[in-house]
A = this chain, B = another copy of it.
Amino acid sequence: MTLTKDLGVLRTIPLFAKVDPAKLKLLAFTSERLAYVSGDELFHQGDHGDAAYIILEGEADILVDTPTGTIKVASLGKNDIIGEIAILCDVPRTATVVAHGGLEALRVSKEGFFHLVIQFPQVGIEVMSALASKLHDTTQALTEVRARVNELDEGNGDG
C-alpha cells in the first residue's frame, strides 16, 4: 500500500474530517492498514491493549465472556472506533473483537493515538463524542436491563 493510497483512505474517515489533509501524512506514518477474514480476532478479552482500530470496511462482532457463556454485546461497522478504552484507561481488553465477514481496519498504536490527539485536538473531540455516545447507549441499556431484573425478581417472589 503506497502512502498516497493510505492518505486517500484517511481522508474518507469522518474522525479525521477536520484535520488538515496535508497533516494527515503524520497519521499515515503512525498507523497500519490491516485485512482480516471472517472469524479473525482483532484482539481477545484480557489482552493488553496497545492500539485502537478504525473500521474501514466490513463489520465486527464485540463478544464478552461471562460466567454463563459468551455474549455478543454489539456489532460495529464502517468508521467505528474499537479498542480505545484499553489504551485510554490502561485496563486489559474488556471484550473480544471478531471480524464478521471480510474486514479492513486502520490500526493506530497507543503512542500514535496520543500524539495524534495532542497535534489535532479536534480529533480528540471526535473521539470524546464517540465515547460519550457509546456511554449513553450502554447506560440506557443498563437501565433497561436493571428494570427487567427488578420485574423478574418480583415475578420470582410471587411464584
**Which residues of A line the B interface, CB within 8 A?**
64, 66-68, 71, 73, 84-85, 88-89, 91, 94-95, 114, 117-119, 121-122, 124-125, 127-129, 131-136, 138-153, 155-156, 159
Contact = CB atoms under 8 A, between A and B. Distances in A.
A146 B117 CA distance: 35
B131 A94 contact: no
| Copies of this chain, count | 2
Given A71-B146, A121-B118, A138-B135, A128 B127 contact: yes
10 contacts: A66-B146, A71-B146, A89-B129, A95-B139, A117-B121, A118-B121, A118-B122, A128-B131, A149-B152, A152-B152
Given A124-B128, A128-B127, A147-B66, A136 B94 contact: yes
